[in-house]
Structure 1
């Protein structure tokens, strides 16, 4: 039995006329008769009672009609779902991210995307920077919202810059330099540093070390931790200072100060990145939706100015 035989049987059963069924199917009437005969032979039952004046279903044919219609309907639904999957309208999208840089953008993007593509399941994975790089390389995530640090060391990536964030000096409000609008890195030579462990963000760690080296000193690291929030908490405790991208003001405490770096242009891009060779069609759909969202008059990457806002506290 094949799907063509089911189609022919349903058409004859609905019309109770072989000639009309053949017209609907755009085939010759003898072909329809032959397929029905083959189907009855394969099933071992008679489906139609035929005479010169009429065609009618047998009891077996009546029972089989309902099942045949259900099977054919599911078959057509399966074809349609496959076509939608081919175009990314049904599927799964694995997103890896650092939460802070896209804290404002991502909820808007996902809501808008799910309204348009309700049959695409989005799975979120939160990683630190080094993990995101590894997951992208290993094809374990489809799309990463991350920082540009280290991305150019991975071949075959598409990178869409969303915004640029400068690095800044973070310290407790009681620090003697806390009310400054900007600080030269050289002035930090005697300061205790709190750092994110290198394995969590090798490019970020190396950037701060190089920044200090360019100003003639190696930072005195008094504490290292695996989480950004913990770094900020330790700094807020007055144990040391740190240098990190400004978007971390989203985790800000009222007693922390984010101060511009004087004379240096140390910036990092917040980006969306994905493998060029990734064949998941849902990627292009969410990138298209993201571009549409970014073209609208919203500022999803507005972070407080360290100089004006902190001075007013």
Structure 2
């Protein structure tokens, strides 16, 4: 496997057209096909489904996208570092979260770091929850902002709590529950549920709430922003941590009773003892995180 093969793969994945990819890469179409075939043989899986008219990326190809992008990006950063005209050192800091809402909250911390670390180049990534810890453990991330799982395997990382946040129920303002400030889980038994997946503690829902709901009444979303969209569209009510809840004018947030606040914080690799990471944690702890 080499960088050229990965770049060819990413270009075909972007265009879904071998001829157009060859044009962008300034090579012949057979060269693109040959490199993709070589990569597929090495990985042992098909990356694309090809017909005479269409090209579609496979599930295996989709799963490989993030890895390919990360490898190519790291190679490019290394090239720039050693070919910089002024030989300046670039200090990268890769921070991931499962939500743009969370990354938006750390702006003051990044601003403080920028003053103290002039050579800092932050890399902010939105990563699905199920991939965050593996990327952190494999060294692809320096820090991850995430909920602490209580019922899942604990990641091999150092955790520093930033806040504890309540679980809330987001409803449309024309919903019968919108006149209340809180709601018990039992009151949601007949509601269709829009769920941020996974639930912060690793279970499918708080206090076994979902056991009484048939699959047709459950809608799972990978981002909190998506939960807000489905609630706005009338698909149901959403359950998610208050920290991530969408603040939209036509939605009302109700505190979900009979549930415990969940822990939210920053993870760093266990063996990493870096002054910049320590400064990041200090800066994050100084932010005004919400309290239950």
TM score, norm. by length of structure 2? 0.61
Mark the CA change 1:194 to 1:204 in structure 2 (over 3 Å): closer, same or farther.
farther
Could you tell me how far 1:157 is from its partner in structure 2?
Answer: 1.7
Tell me which structure has the larger Cα radius of gyration. Answer: 1
- Partner residue in 2 for 1:261: 256
- Check whether the contact 1:145–1:270 (CA below 8 A) recurs between aligned residues: yes
Measure, in 2, the Cα distance between the counterparts of 1:174 and 1:260: 17
Could you tell me how far 1:113 is from its partner in structure 2?
Answer: 0.8
- Partner residue in 1 for 2:231: 235
Mark the CA change 1:188 to 1:111 in structure 2 (over 3 Å): closer, same or farther.
same
Q: 1:226 aligns with which of 222, 228, 243?
A: 222
Which structure 1 segments of 5+ residues have no match?
1-76, 306-313
Q: 1:211 aligns with which of 208, 213, 218?
A: 208
Which structure 2 segments of 5+ residues have no match?
1-85
- Partner residue in 1 for 2:20: none
| Mapped pair 1:247 → 2:224 | no
Could you tell me how far 1:256 is from its partner in structure 2?
Answer: 0.7
Could you tell me how far 1:279 is from its partner in structure 2?
Answer: 5.0
Greater Cα shift, 217-226 or 111-120:
217-226
Count of residue pairs the alignment pairs up: 205
RMSD across aligned C-alpha pairs, in angstroms? 3.0
- Check whether the contact 1:101–1:270 (CA below 8 A) recurs between aligned residues: no
Could you tell me how far 1:209 is from its partner in structure 2?
Answer: 5.8
Measure, in 2, the Cα distance between the counterparts of 1:154 and 1:204: 11
- Partner residue in 2 for 1:112: 112
User: Which runs of structure 2 are paired with 1:1-313 in the superposition (5 Å)?
Assistant: 91-97=91-97, 98-101=99-102, 103-104=104-105, 106-149=106-149, 153-196=153-196, 198=197, 201=198, 203=200, 206-208=203-205, 210-212=207-209, 217-218=212-213, 221-249=217-245, 251-262=246-257, 264-291=258-285, 294=286, 300-302=288-290
Mark the CA change 1:238 to 1:289 in structure 2 (over 3 Å): closer, same or farther.
closer
